[in-house]
């Protein structure tokens, strides 16, 4: 992957290249913006640039260009996250009880867990827009941060810079955040931290204040469509339907690039409508939830809850006269829904959807989560 392989984000690319050429590289960065818009991709590309032996540099007025060499790109195009100077930190399962305290970031885990993590990391390294899905993970643990600090103390890179990329940095709790703070305050030589998050409000304030903040922009529909077409993702005849749901995110577009998306949306809307009937709703609501959750496919359930959240967001927009909605082909239905519930706290129901998405990601019983969500929405809207 080289700069041109990163979709969009030309402004951020220029910021990072200027910093490299002018030798004004910060010791810590905080990349913020929605999921799937290229934060991970640019972090990986910048880490490669920082470790390329003879980068290609061009200066043209206020704009600088810094590229990795074709040879370096070829060697690390699909395995950059396994480079000796690049350390990836992300949520992993808890180690086995009484496991040995070793330096390795994956020490203490069962063999099948290590295999799953390595496979997910390989997929991420090959495609930085891939969203890793590791079983049993909730947060970045303090033990992980401590092991990174051990690694940094043991050696310094002889060539290039050591880059610690912390994916989903907002999943660090107070303990792991405080453990990281000291390293950011007093960075080791030739060491760069890149924290990546879509929820900067959850990052410890003292960490944020010590990082250079770089905000990423949502991608344009044309940029997302180009990526989907190049990677043969989804039905080409269905892409224009998918794009409004992507909300500027490649990751979100991939999640919705499914031939059955329209059917799932109709089933989800039917579930919402049925759940808001004043009487005789229970049996059918349970049946609809069971149908959506039938194969215990968490991704399918996540899509359904996201579709419900988008529908409710459209209703909220419509209630204040904003007709720039995602479900454009359902405007009449949204108008009717809003005429009935527009004076209720629809924003609260969207919060409940977001809470439910977090719980589904934590491996809680998905059917119970969905039923609970419908009951909570009923209480707000009825």
Q: Residues 20-32: pLDDT tens digits? A: 999 999 999 999 9
Q: Look at residue 184 and tell me whether its pLDDT is greater than 90.
A: yes
Closest to 15 measured CA to CA, from 235, 212, 197: 212
Angstrom distances, CA of residue 214 to CA of 13, 26, 140, 199: 11, 11, 22, 13
Three-state DSSP state, 172:
strand
pLDDT at 323: 84
Q: Is the pLDDT of residue 62 over 80?
A: no
Q: Is residue 286 over pLDDT 90?
A: yes
**Full 3-state SS string of 102-117:** CCCCCCCCCHHHHHHH
Q: What is the pLDDT of residue 91?
A: 87
Q: How confident is the model at residue 344 (pLDDT cuts 50, 70, 90)?
A: very high
Contact between residue 340 and residue 276 where contact means Cβ atoms under 8 Å apart: no
Beta carbons within 8 Å of 44's beta carbon, 6+ residues apart: 1, 80, 81, 86, 125, 128, 165
Cα separations in angstroms, 373 against 254, 277, 280, 350, 351: 25, 15, 18, 10, 10
Residue 13 pLDDT grade (very low, low, confident, very high; cuts 50, 70, 90): very high
* Beta strands at 63-67 and 191-197: parallel, antiparallel or unpaired: unpaired
Confidence of residue 229 (pLDDT cuts 50, 70, 90): confident
Question: When comparing pLDDT for 78 and 196, which is higher?
Answer: 196
Judge contact between 184 and 210, C-beta under 8 A. Answer: yes
pLDDT of residue 349: 96
Q: For residue 277, which phi and psi values (nearest 5 degrees)?
A: -70, 145
Q: Quote the pLDDT of residue 28.
A: 95
Amino acid 64: pLDDT: 81
Contact 13, 3 (CB under 8 A): yes
Task: State the average pLDDT for the chain.
Answer: 88
Q: How confident is the model at residue 348 (pLDDT cuts 50, 70, 90)?
A: very high
Q: Tell me if residue 140 falls in helix, strand or coil.
A: strand
How big, in percent rounded to 5, are the helix, strand and coil portions of the chain? 55, 10, 35
Give backbone dihedrals phi and psi of 7, rounded to 5 degrees, phi first: -75, 125
User: What does the pLDDT average to over 364-375?
Assistant: 91
pLDDT at 1 over 60: no
Does 155 or 9 have the greater pLDDT score?
9
pLDDT single digits (tens) 104-144: 777 778 888 889 889 999 999 888 988 888 887 778 989 88
Residue 100 — very low, low, confident or very high, per pLDDT cuts 50/70/90?
low
Give the pLDDT score at 220.
93
pLDDT given for residue 263 in this prediction: 87
Give the whole-angstrom CA distance, residue 378 versus residue 279: 12
Instruction: Answer yes or no: pTM beyond 0.75.
Output: yes
Would you state the pLDDT for residue 80? 87
DSSP state of 165: E
Confidence grade of residue 376 (pLDDT, cut at 50, 70, 90) = very high
**Tokens 């180009």 sit on residue:** 226
Strands 28-32 and 212-215: parallel
Count H helices and E strands in the chain, helices first.
Answer: 16, 7
pLDDT band for position 102 (50/70/90)? low
What was the pLDDT predicted at 103?
A: 64
Helix or strand or coil: residue 228?
A: helix
Instruction: Decide if pLDDT at 96 tops 80.
Output: no
Please state, in angstroms and rounded to a whole number, the distance separating the CA atoms of residues 268 and 304.
6
pLDDT of residue 21: 92
pLDDT of residue 259: 62
pLDDT, residue 326, reads 84
pLDDT of residue 254: 85
Q: DSSP H helical segments within 77-141, as ranges?
A: 111-126
Are 19 and 26 a contacting pair, CB within 8 Å?
yes
- Residue 181: pLDDT band with limits 50, 70, 90: very high
* In contact, 264 and 303? CB cutoff 8 Å: yes
The strand ranges marked E within the chain are 28-32, 56-60, 63-67, 86-89, 162-166, 191-197, 212-215
Q: Which of 3-7, 13-17, 100-104, 133-137 has the highest mean pLDDT?
A: 13-17
- Region 90-96 average pLDDT: 82
Query: What value does the CA radius of gyration of the chain take, rounded to a whole number of Å?
Result: 23
The CA-based angle 249-251-253, given to 5 degrees, is: 70
Residue 101 has pLDDT above 70, yes or no: no
Is 80 exceeded by the pLDDT of residue 277?
yes
C-alpha to C-alpha distance for 27 and 19, rounded to whole angstroms = 12
Q: Where are the alpha helices (DSSP H) in 22-63?
A: 39-50
């Amino acid at each position: 992957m080289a700069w041109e392989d990163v979709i969009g984000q030309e402004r951020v690319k220029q910021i990072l290249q200027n910093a490299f050429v002018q030798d004004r590289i910060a010791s810590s960065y905080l990349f913020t913006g929605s999921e799937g818009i290229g934060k991970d991709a640019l972090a990986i590309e910048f880490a490669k640039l920082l470790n390329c032996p003879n980068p290609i540099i061009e200066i043209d007025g206020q704009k600088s260009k810094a590229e990795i060499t074709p040879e370096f790109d070829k060697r690390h195009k699909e395995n950059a996250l396994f480079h000796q100077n690049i350390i990836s930190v992300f949520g992993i399962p808890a180690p086995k009880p009484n496991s040995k305290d070793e330096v390795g970031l994956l020490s203490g885990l069962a063999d099948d867990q290590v295999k799953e993590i390595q496979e997910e990391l390989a997929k991420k390294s090959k495609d930085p827009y891939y969203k890793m899905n590791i079983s049993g993970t909730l947060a970045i643990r303090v033990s992980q941060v401590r092991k990174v600090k051990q690694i940094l103390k043991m050696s310094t890179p002889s060539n290039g810079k050591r880059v610690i990329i912390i994916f989903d940095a907002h999943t660090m709790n107070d303990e792991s955040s405080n453990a990281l703070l000291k390293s950011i305050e007093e960075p080791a030589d030739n060491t760069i931290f890149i924290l990546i998050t879509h929820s900067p409000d959850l990052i410890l304030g003292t960490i944020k204040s010590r990082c250079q903040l770089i905000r990423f922009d949502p991608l344009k529909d044309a940029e997302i469509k180009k990526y989907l077409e190049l990677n043969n993702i989804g039905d080409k005849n269905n892409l224009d339907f998918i794009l409004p749901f992507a909300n500027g995110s490649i990751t979100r577009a991939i999640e919705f690039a499914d031939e059955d998306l329209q059917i799932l949306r109709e089933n989800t809307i039917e579930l919402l409508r049925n759940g808001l009937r004043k009487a005789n709703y229970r049996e059918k609501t349970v049946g609809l939830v069971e149908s959506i959750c039938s194969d215990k496919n968490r991704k399918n359930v996540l899509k359904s809850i996201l579709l419900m959240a988008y529908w409710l967001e459209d209703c909220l927009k419509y209630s204040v006269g904003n007709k720039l909605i995602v479900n454009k082909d359902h405007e009449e239905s949204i108008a009717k829904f809003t005429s009935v519930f527009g004076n209720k706290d629809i924003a609260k129901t969207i919060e409940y959807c977001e809470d439910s998405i977090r719980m589904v990601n934590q491996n809680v019983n998905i059917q119970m989560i969905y039923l609970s969500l419908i009951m909570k929405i009923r209480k707000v809207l009825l």
